[in-house]
Structure 1
């Protein structure tokens, strides 16, 4: 395991240097969106919902949407003024009875590992928690935000479990239960329900349960692999073609800049610039040639062509699909 945080637990005058490890991992089945015909990965672009143009990563800011749909844009300077914390201390505030912490408040779990020189105070805190049947209520700064958590013992290891804020728990406001408040349960029904509980009483054994869906997916995938039902990833094209594309894009940019200032443009540069203008004036041809890595790269380098690139995307369904060309398109993007 790899430590995700380093700091120290402090209680009283005692400091225990520790490392933080994630105590859980997600085993949910993960699928990818792919092209049905050739298995190519589906890529998404950052497009503005107002002008429809692709937005560079540097031009993306954080926005807060109000309940009535208004958007408040927050700058880096705004965010810098927010209260953040970079403390490396897990400060014990108090030791509280275990039953006072509602399990609904538990969020994420982490393991705490002591430094080699801090094993003794670590064991001291572990034994104190175990014998007192209490959990340590602490504050800790994770990802620059201060949060409340508890320390408790699990399998001789001190664990840290972050807690949700009380207002993050939703209220179970069900009208049907309110209407049924006057429903009376007969003693015979209550006795029979209790008998059912006793007949199904037992101990929790995690080995008795299995994620049958994940197992079925793995079996299905293995069957397809053994049957040869695999979409081979297209071979990437040589990097040499990209150099030519970059040169063409630079020539077009120089030609446009010089024309805009009214300066003379060298013949070879003018030809490259004219070629770029022809592409922009003929979106139909651009759509047909969308799979060409040369034109794709030129488009990405020239912001003025964003609109034309968008139109060609709309005509993707009419373009002939080819695994080799699709790979070039992915690589250029």
Structure 2
């Protein structure tokens, strides 16, 4: 891996030099736009809408459009002069419980590696943070953008999770939230049963990107000049008559997929019934002897 940023964790009066690495990578199959006729690559020119001339990349700046359509031009120098106190620091602001941070705030994950003489203070903060069971709320500037972030430990390494700002989280404003929707007890019980029947331990290795694999198979077939095999369509199930029936069928399907057998309630009841009858007959005999 190649580091994308160098700086330091600022923890009180302690400074821990670190290198930052992207912790994730997209595995999508990438494509180029090409001419369908001859597979020629499609290229785009940077053309100015005012004079119609092609503009070299070195002459391109960022423009902020005003409501009236006017453009305010900002250069690299304008961005360089902005006061970023965290330009080379990861400032620890406070420590909080992990479950206090809603995952909706998380944006991107990075690994932090100690740099130079930073190994000992790195390990010290890591051990203290792990023992506390908390995460650090920090502020960091990456790629000219200051962000809130959390600092936590994963497999002995600090993971920096950049976060969105509170005003970047949209409020859900959906009409159904104002409706008075009635849920029957049977439906809730069946939905709870469905959740219980699908409980398990999360193991990400058991999941795969089936679409990407199928797409890669199509590409490989074209490279080898073979006929592209179409995947068999899955058989669709008949829709249930009502919600309760759908839930009940889902529970049965979930149990079947896990190899669970249906409880033999009727058989158990049938076996117990004779025992009760026999008990009654046994209890009746002493009374017969006494009356005699």
TM-score over 0.5 for the alignment? yes
Cα distance change on mapping 1:85 and 1:10 into 2, 3 Å: closer
Aligned to 1:145: 145
1:159, CA displacement in angstroms?
0.7
Once residues 80 and 7 of structure 1 are traced to their aligned partners in structure 2, the CA distance between those partners, rounded to angstroms, is 17
Q: Is the contact made by 2:90 and 2:140 (CA closer than 8 Å) also made in structure 1? A: yes
Matching residue of 2:83: 83
Question: 2:27 is paired with a residue of what secondary structure?
Answer: coil
Does the CA-based 8 Å contact 2:86-2:139 persist in structure 1? no
Task: State the Cα distance separating 1:185 from its structure 2 match.
Answer: 1.6
Point out where structure 2 has 5 or more consecutive residues left out of the alignment.
Answer: 228-292
**How far apart, CA to CA, are the structure 1 residues paired with 2:199 and 2:77?**
59
How much has 1:145 moved relative to structure 2? 3.1
The residue aligned with 1:203 is: 201
Within 5 Å, which residues of 2 pair with 1:169-208?
A: 169-178=169-178, 180=179, 182-208=180-206
- Displacement of 1:13 in angstroms is 2.7
SS in structure 2 opposite 1:72?
strand
Paired residues of 2:7 and 2:19 also in contact (CA < 8 A): yes
Matched position secondary structure for 1:152: strand
Please give the alpha-carbon distance, in whole angstroms, between the structure 1 residues aligned to 2:72 and 2:116. Answer: 49
- Equivalent residues, number: 227
CA contact (8 A) 1:86 1:144 kept: no
Please give the secondary structure, in 1, of the residue aligned with 2:215.
helix
**Contact kept in structure 2, 1:23 and 1:109, CA below 8 Å:** yes
Going by fraction, where is helix more abundant, 1 or 2?
1
TM-score (ref. length: structure 2): 0.70
C-alpha separation in 2, matches of 1:152 and 1:163: 13
Q: Compute the TM-score of the two structures, normalised by the length of structure 1.
A: 0.62
Q: 1:11 Cα deviation (Å)?
A: 1.3
Q: How far apart, in 1, do the equivalents of 2:212 and 2:132 lie?
A: 40
Query: Could you say which residue in structure 2 is the equivalent of 1:108?
Result: 108
Moved more, 72-81 or 153-162: 72-81
Report Cα offsets for 1:174-209 as digits up to 9, x if no partner: 11332x2x2222222211111111111112121221
Q: Give the match for residue 122 of structure 1.
A: 122
CA contact (8 A) 2:61 2:75 kept: yes
Quote the offset at 1:146 in angstroms. Answer: 2.6
**Quick one: distance in 1 between partners of 2:226 and 2:50?**
45
Deviation at 1:5, TM superposition (A): 1.2
For residues 144 and 60 of structure 1, do their structure 2 counterparts lie closer, same or farther at Cα, with a shift above 3 Å needed?
closer
Query: Which one of the candidate residues 207, 211, 215 is aligned to 1:213?
Result: 211
- Give the corresponding residue for 2:132: 132
Tell me which residue corresponds to 1:223. 221
Other-structure match for 1:162 = 162
Contact 1:85 1:146 (8 Å CA) reproduced: no
CA distance in 2, matches of 1:166, 1:144: 19
Q: For 2:115 and 2:31, how far apart are their aligned partners in 1?
A: 39
Q: Deviation digits for residues 262-292 of structure 1, max 9, x if unmatched?
A: xxxxxxxxxxxxxxxxxxxxxxxxxxxxxxx
Deviation at 1:228, TM superposition (A): 8.5
State the partner residue of 1:42.
42
Q: 2:86–2:141: 8 Å Cα contact kept in structure 1?
A: yes
On the 8 A contact 2:8/2:88 being kept in 1, the answer is: yes
Structure 1 pair 196–37 and aligned structure 2 pair: CA distance change class (3 A)? same
Q: Tell me, which stretches of 5 or more residues in structure 1 are unaligned?
A: 230-333
Cα distance change of structure 1 residues 88 and 81 upon mapping to structure 2, 3 Å threshold:
closer
